[in-house]
Chains A and B, each alone.
Chain A
Amino acid sequence: MANFLKVENLCRFYDDVAAVQEISFEVGKGEFVALLGPSGCGKSTTLKMIAGLENPDSGTIEIEGQDVLGKAPGKRNLSMVFQSYALFPHLSVRENILFGLKARKVPKPERLKRLNSAVEMVGLGPHINKKPGQLSGGQSQRVALARSIVSNAPLCLMDEPLSNLDTKLRADMRTEIRSLQKQLGLTVIYVTHDQIEAMSMADKIILLNQGRIEQTAAPEEFYDKPLTTFVASFIGHPPMNLIPQKEFLLGVRPEHVQIVDVDTGSEISMVIQECDYQGSETIVTGEYMGTMIKVSMAGKCNIPSGESVNVRWEPGAVHRFKTEGGQRLEDNP
């Protein structure tokens, strides 16, 4: 897969505070890449620099082998979907979608052709003459998607496009965006702070923390082989338990811990603190070797607090990290 987008050593400072530090990554054509991280980690800044809305202090950005730094955003052949939708309130849905094509002086028959196919793709047919103020959040985001589709740009940047929608709609839109992306063969850079969005949609996730890349990998690798304790404690619901040992940190995911009734001979047990029932599962919190850990149990589970239970896990479910710095240690002890 040819390198479609190449970002190298990107740095950006705000008043001497680094927002983005030496970020490098590559994106193949047609790939869906999620830039994931907590707020303030530099993911939006990175996206804006790719778009050309901000200039990096150092580093290079290449799109299709061409250096795009110094090119205006409109000349980079990309489209963008914003968290705030960024629809022009004085224009109808139709005019909003056509805005870019008119600005670029695309001939009228071509404009209409693209408009019609995009409107059909995102299912906006009955709303085409409405003003953005009359639309719901989901419909507004569809207009923004349609605007990005009609541009025919091969690269689409999405800046937390679903954060303003409610949970159910968000789930629907995730599937929809993913299938649109596949259908159109789009290359997508998707900024989000929501690990579910990143895990479920992306081919590749880039996890950022304080302006640096923590890990770049496919979603399953993020879950199976987190490179640092930051990644381990960011991914997962609830995140991985990290238990300090003599020479290293032991990591085990709550869903891999089992509470066993029978005494297996293990002298170490967990003292229950509380049980948090969530429907399909119960999150049990307790103290284990001086550390608070969480255990995910299927179904309803109500153990009185203060009671001691025995816990176990498969040896393969264990992750080990350095105490200093938090890097992952080799799997074989």
Chain B
Amino acid sequence: MNRLTRIVLVSMAWLLGFVWLFPLIYAIWAAIHPAEYATKFSLFAPLTMDNFKEAWNEAPFLRYMINTVAITLIILTGQLVLCTLAAYALARMEFFGRGLMFALVLMQLMVVPEILIVENYQTLAGLNLIDTYWGVALPYVASAFGIFLLRQTFKTVPQDLENAAKIEGCSVLAIIWKVYVPLAKPTYLAFSLVSISYHWNNFLWPLVVTNTEKSRPLTVGMSIFGAPESGVDWSIISAGTLISVGPLLILFILFQRQFVQSFMQAGIK
């Protein structure tokens, strides 16, 4: 590679990185300065932590945080269990209509979740689950993407490994748990990351299905700052946003290397 291409490539990377990072940089700027500096840049702007305090006091963040964590975990657990079982069946069991079943699962990938909001609301209302964790989680606990991803991974596990485990007396569930799951670890990591970040940030469905702070996640809770009747205070919104994305951001920075590696191994780019 000659010098010029290298310079162009590196500056493109920096540019792209900056575009990606800019909203976060702005949020940090706005959050640690008084409101009048939110849209004004000055090196000598006074630093303050008041925005965080105000945001924290204005909304029950702790409660929202607990809700978000609980909902994300319920969804993730449900997805991992259901997708594993479905993926194993689609990858290794022979039954009538398997191809059709898999095609239907794939078709689901093309359906935009928002289109189902009304239908889902009716179903969950029928189940009496409006404004509960389960209400937010249930429409997402089976993931077509997860099933597809795990099925592809399970297909690459040599049949002999399963045969060996069978001869050693393992049941189907034991085979899945002791052979398939450990071998698909990178895929599980990559999928979990995608799932957590999607559901941590999910907004529309929780907005529809939650009514009180009993089950309202951070994203919906945050929206009260942006409500037109209370006026838009960018500094406080930024502080609130930082509080809500903080845990995820710290997790990502800590596990960055593992995440990137597992994405490479799982073949998702």
Q: Contact at A88–B168, with CB atoms within 8 Å?
A: no
Q: A79–B166 Cα gap in the complex (Å)?
A: 10
Q: How far, in whole Å, are A143 and B42 apart by their CA atoms in the complex?
A: 69
Q: Mark B148-183, 1 if CB is under 8 A from A, else 0.
A: 000000000010110111111110001000110011
B161 surroundings in chain A (CB, below 8 A): 86, 88
Contact pattern, A 19-60, Cβ under 8 Å of B = 1, otherwise 0: 000000000000000000000000000000001110000000
Partner of A80, one of B163, B170, B185: B163
Interface pair A100/B169, CB less than 8 Å apart = yes
List of B residues within 8 angstroms of A72 by Cβ: 166, 169
Taking CB atoms and an 8 Å cut-off, the chain B residues in 184-225 that contact chain A are 185
Distance in Å: Cβ of B150 to nearest Cβ of chain A: 16
Q: Complex formed: what's the CA distance from A52 to B169 in Å?
A: 11
> Contacts A84-B158, A89-B183, A90-B183 given: A103-B163 contact, CB under 8 Å?
no
Q: How far is the CA of A83 from the CA of B159 in the complex (A)?
A: 12
A82-B166 in contact (CB<8A) = no
Report the Cα distance A72→B183, complex, angstroms.
Answer: 24
Contact B182 A90, beta carbon cutoff 8 Å: yes
A86 near B163 with CB under 8 A, answer: yes
Given contacts A86-B158, A86-B161, contact A74 B166 (CB under 8 A): yes
B182: chain A residues within 8 A (beta carbon): 88, 90
Interface residue A246 (Cβ < 8 Å from any Cβ of B): no
Size of chain A's interface in residues, with CB distance under 8 A? 23
Q: Distance (Å) between the CB of A143 and the closest chain B CB?
A: 11
Query: Please, which residues of chain A bring their CB within 8 A of the CB of B174?
Result: 103
The smallest beta-carbon distance between B171 and chain A, in angstroms, is 8
> CB distance A104 to B167 under 8 Å?
no
Residues of A within 8 A of B167 (CB): 51, 53, 73-74, 78-80, 100
Given contacts A90-B182, A103-B174, contact A82 B163 (CB under 8 A): yes
Q: Chain A residue with minimal CB distance to B166?
A: A73
Contact in complex: B179, A103 (CB < 8 Å): no
8 Å CB interface, A180-236 against B: none
Name the A residues within 8 Å of B179 (CB-CB): 88
A92-109 toward B: CB 8 Å interface, digit per residue (1/0)?
000000011001100000
A147 to B167, CA, bound (A): 11
CA of A51 to CA of B167 in the docked complex: distance in angstroms? 7
Are A103 and B170 neighbours in the complex by a CB distance under 8 Å? Answer: yes
* In the complex with contacts A86-B160, A90-B183, A103-B166 CB distance below 8 A: no
Contact A82-B164, Cβ < 8 Å, known A88-B179, A90-B182, A90-B183:
yes
Q: B168's contact among A53, A83, A89, A151, by CB below 8 Å, is which?
A: A151
Q: How far is the CA of A283 from the CA of B179 in the complex (A)?
A: 50
How close is B102's CB to chain A, nearest CB, in angstroms?
21
Number of A-B residue pairs at CB separation under 8 A: 59
Q: Per a CB cutoff under 8 Å, which of B158, B168, B183 touches A74?
A: B168
From residue A230, how far is it (CB to closest CB) to chain B in Å? Answer: 30
Bound state CA distance, A9 and B170, in angstroms?
29
Inter-chain CA distance A84–B166, complex, in Å, is 16
How far is B167's CA from A322's CA once the two chains are assembled, in angstroms? Answer: 44
Q: Given B158, B168, B183, B185, which contacts A103 in the complex, CB threshold below 8 Å?
A: B168
A206 to B182, CA, bound (A): 40
User: Which of B161, B163, B170, B182 has the most A CB atoms < 10 Å from its CB?
Assistant: B163
- Which residue in A73, A78, A82, A99 is a CB contact (below 8 Å) of B160? A82
Instruction: Please name all residues of chain B whose beta carbon is closer than 8 Å to the beta carbon of A82 when the two chains form the complex.
Output: 160, 163-164
- Chain B residue contacts of A51, Cβ below 8 A: 163, 167
In the complex, A99→B161 CA distance in Å? 12
Does A75 sit within 8 A of B, measured CB to CB? yes
**B169, A53: Cβ atoms closer than 8 Å:** no
Nearest CB in chain B: distance from A211 CB, A: 21
- Inter-chain CA distance A73–B165, complex, in Å, is 9
Give min CB distance, B160 to chain A, whole Å. 4
Q: Which residue of B is nearest A74, CB measured?
A: B169
Among the interface residues B158, B164, B170, which one has the most CB atoms of the partner chain A within 10 A? B164
Closest B residue, CB atoms, query A83 = B160
Q: B161: nearest residue on chain A (CB-CB)?
A: A86
Identify the 7 closest CB pairs spanning chains A and B, nearest first.
Answer: A74-B169, A100-B168, A86-B164, A86-B160, A90-B182, A73-B166, A82-B160
Show 24 A/B contacts (Cβ-Cβ < 8 Å), sorted by A.
A73-B169, A74-B168, A74-B169, A75-B169, A78-B167, A79-B167, A80-B164, A80-B167, A82-B160, A82-B163, A84-B160, A86-B158, A86-B163, A88-B178, A88-B182, A90-B182, A90-B185, A99-B165, A99-B168, A100-B168, A103-B165, A103-B168, A103-B169, A103-B174
Q: Told that A89-B183, A90-B185 touch, could you supply 10 new A-B pairs with CB distance under 8 A? A: A53-B167, A80-B164, A83-B160, A86-B160, A86-B161, A86-B163, A88-B161, A103-B169, A104-B168, A151-B168
